[in-house]
Amino acid sequence: MHLQDIVRLVEGTHLNPEVDMDIKIRGGCGADLMSDVLASSQPKAVLLTGLTNPQVVRTAQIAEFRAIIFVRGKQPQAETIDIATQEKMPLITSPFGMFELCGRLHHAGLPSFESNVNVPSS
């Protein structure tokens, strides 16, 4: 699924327009614990999270996410946007909550990229 399509589905706002949005997203993962993100995600997914600190971008980068969506209309601090722009990570904010967003994306055909923790990462 194209990131632009996802942005439309979540009625999101692109927070760092200088970053390329012509990206294919293969799955989704929703988490507020960074260790969960690192432990149970697969590459090339979009991260849905309620956290907005700069670590989210670093975590997403290390775990090879392709974009981050902040839930409940959260606005990240300037440092978060700076790091994301530097690392070419698109940031999107959506007015909806986590459950609603996961539901919308899953319903539109975006699979879960949360893997079983007991199995080494894909």
Q: Which is nearer to another protein, 11 or 87 (CB)?
A: 87
Contact between 104 and another protein by CB under 8 A: the answer reads no
Compute the distance between CA of residue 71 and CA of residue 6 in angstroms, rounded to an integer.
13
Q: Considering only residues 9, 13, 26, 97, which one is a binding residue for another protein as defined by CB under 8 A?
A: 26
Give the Å distances, CA to CA, from 71 to 31, 55, 87, 97, 120: 11, 16, 21, 5, 28
Residues 39-78 that bind another protein (CB under 8 A): 39, 43-44, 49, 51, 53-56, 58-59, 61-64
What SS3 state is found at 96?
coil
Q: Which is nearer to another protein, 8 or 24 (CB)?
A: 24
Compute the distance between CA of residue 106 and CA of residue 112 in angstroms, rounded to an integer.
7
Compute the distance between CA of residue 66 and CA of residue 78 in angstroms, rounded to an integer.
20
Contact between 1 and another protein by CB under 8 A: the answer reads yes
- Looking up tokens 């055909």 gives 109
Interface positions with another protein (CB under 8 A):
1, 14, 17-22, 24, 26-27, 32-39, 43-44, 49, 51, 53-56, 58-59, 61-64, 79, 87, 109-111, 117, 120-121
